Amino acid sequence: MAHETWYRMDNVAKVFLAAANDRDTRSFRITCTLNEDIEEDILGAAVKNAAKERPQYQVTILRGLFWHYMEPTDDEPVVTIENERPCPMLYDQKTFGKLHYHVTYHYNRINLDFFHAIADGNGAIEFLNLIVYHYLKLKHPNEIPDIPMTSGASEAALSQDSFRHYYAKKNKNVKKKKFRNAYHIKGQKLPYNQLRFMEVHMNVGDVIKKAKENHVSLTSYIATKLMMSIYKDMPVLNRIQPVTISMPVNLRNYYPSDTSRNFFNSVNVSHLFKSTDTFESVAEQFNADLKNELTPEMVEARMYDYEKLEKILFIRLAPLFLKNPVVKIGTHQKAKKVTAVVSNLGILKVPEELSDYILSYNAYCSTSTMFVVCSTYKDDFVLGISSAYKSTQVIRDFIKSLSDEGIEMTLYSNEVVD
């Protein structure tokens, strides 16, 4: 098949391409657990049906002289039983000409692993739900009706680089907060570039109740619990450093975009602890700082930062082999200002006709430090925790701080080699 279409990489994708490594692969996983075991042949057919509706993901990443770009590929998605860690490497020399997502299954769970340069969580969730719909439609043809599962946006809208589309010159009246280098959790990393993954299920009503008691949002409540757990494990000599939590923000909540590609940026909330701090005081300040960072003016200012890279003449004219080290250095400098990441995917909804077949969702993201993904489906609030560290002390303190509030939970974890 002749390929006449190619896609620019958005500027967030360029960062992922330059920064991906064997541990922090810049991949993420979203899972959907059904109330019945998966049949491989039916899942394979479902994935192919879903792929036809999202040609934006049926691409391979190629290297140009000045930038990477995406081009359609004839490579077809192949479904296999789960046989590797979550968030595997999906972009390296072995993936030339290949798709940058994998679909696997384990008993009754469907896993979708995505390279972050191709899409963000919003696009991946929609794609996973397409797969689930087609699977259930094929498995139960007399019970599942025809259901519109997408927004109905045009292919051009789905392929849009919304960063470029909504780029505007910087408003000089908006002053962004400057962040110091943050504390990084001490201790050895897991060998062999492993990551520890933990899945924690709670009743969302119980968590919201505790957040409301502290007059903060659910995101602020969870992020402050993590921040306090990191501080508890912090050596005294390092307590002159702030603990900074970074949080991705879905820009579709601010701009009318239907893109299935990346369209997010991140906000940071930082706290320099004092001996007089309590959970209540830190949570209140965290919530206030987060609200300030989420104002339209601040979001627009960060949008400028993501696009200004391509506006610098030297960067635009430099060949790719010179650009990548510059982008990698910039990414490393930004990483110095972040202790851990908390991402809230929000409430995941499916058509009523599908809901009785679905038990839960979960998500993980690769990391070189610690990353917590929150998601809610019906009454199930789930934390997908990924950690690069041998020690589980921070995670144990984090979980215990929630358990001590009377929140009941169920935990699952992978095995790692110490």
Kindly write down the DSSP assignment for every residue of 143-198, as one continuous string: T------S----HHHHT--HHHHT-----TT--PPP-PPPP---SPBPGGG--EEE
Residue 2: what pLDDT?
A: 42
Closest CA relative to residue 43, chosen from 163, 168, 153, 133: 133
Residue finishing a domain among 123, 147, 171: 147
Question: 117 with 195, same domain?
Answer: no
User: Cβ atoms within 10 A of the Cβ of 177, count?
Assistant: 12
Size (the chain), residues: 418
Give phi and psi for 277, each to the nearest 5.
-65, 140
**Any domain includes 2:** no
Are residues 333 and 196 part of one domain? yes
Work out whether the CA dihedral 354, 138, 51, 150 comes out positive or negative.
negative
| Amino acid 418: pLDDT | 82
Residues 182-198 have pLDDT tens digits of: 999 999 999 999 999 99
Beta-carbon contacts of residue 9 (< 8 Å; ≥ 6 apart)? 17, 61, 67, 68, 69, 70, 117
Does 198 map to a domain?
yes
Domain boundaries, position 53: 7-147
Answer with the one of 147, 169, 201 that is the final residue of a domain: 147
**Residue-wise pLDDT tens digits, 119-171:** 999 999 999 999 999 999 999 999 999 998 887 888 889 889 898 888 776 66
Q: Is residue 163 one of the residues assigned to a domain?
A: no
The type of residue at 348 is L
CATH number at residue 80: 3.30.559.10
118-to-167, 242, 352 alpha-carbon distances in Å: 20, 33, 29
Using the structure block, give the residue that is written with the tokens 């307590």.
239
What distances in angstroms separate CA 389 from CA 43, 52, 132, 180, 185, one per listed residue? 35, 40, 34, 23, 8
Tokens at 274, concatenated = 């004092």
Distance CA 104, CA 57 (A): 17
Number of domains in the chain: 2
Alpha helices, DSSP H only, in 274-345? 279-293, 296-311, 313-317, 320-335
Helix (H, G, I), strand (E, B) or coil at 298: helix
For residues 232 and 282, state if they share a domain: yes
- Residue 189 sits in the same domain as residue 92: no
Q: Is residue 157, in this structure, part of any structural domain at all?
A: no
**Helix pair 11-19, 296-311: axis angle to 10 deg:** 70
Domain membership of residue 160 (yes or no) is no
CB burial string 267-285: b at 16+ within 10 A, e below = bbbbbebeeeeeeeebbbb
CATH code, domain carrying 326: 3.30.559.30
Query: For the packed helices 393-403 and 218-232, what is the interaxial angle rounded to 10 degrees?
Result: 130
Residue 340 and residue 366 in contact, taking contact as beta carbons nearer than 8 Å: no
pTM: 0.95
Q: Within this chain, do residues 114 and 183 fall inside the same structural domain, yes or no? A: no
Q: Are residues 265 and 378 part of one domain?
A: yes
In a domain, 166, yes or no: no
Q: Are residues 141 and 199 in the same domain?
A: no
**Do 44 and 143 share a structural domain?**
yes
Determine, yes or no, domain membership for 302.
yes
137 and 240 housed in the same domain: no
| Strands, sheet with 68-72, edge to edge from the N-terminal-most edge strand | 7-8, 68-72, 59-63
Residues 342 and 275 in one domain: yes
In a domain, 169, yes or no: no
pLDDT, tens digit only, all 418 positions of the chain: 344 577 788 888 988 998 999 999 999 999 999 999 999 999 999 999 999 999 999 999 998 888 889 999 999 999 999 999 999 999 987 888 899 999 999 999 999 999 999 999 999 999 999 999 999 999 999 999 999 888 788 888 988 989 888 877 666 667 778 899 999 999 999 999 999 999 999 999 999 999 999 999 999 999 999 999 999 999 999 999 999 999 999 999 999 999 999 999 999 999 999 999 999 999 999 999 999 999 999 998 888 776 666 666 677 778 888 888 888 888 899 999 999 999 999 999 999 999 999 999 999 999 999 999 999 999 999 999 999 999 999 999 999 999 999 999 999 999 998 8
Same domain, 377 and 276: yes
End residue of a domain, out of 102, 132, 147: 147
Domain co-membership, 364 together with 267: yes
Q: Are 137 and 41 in contact (CB under 8 A)?
A: no
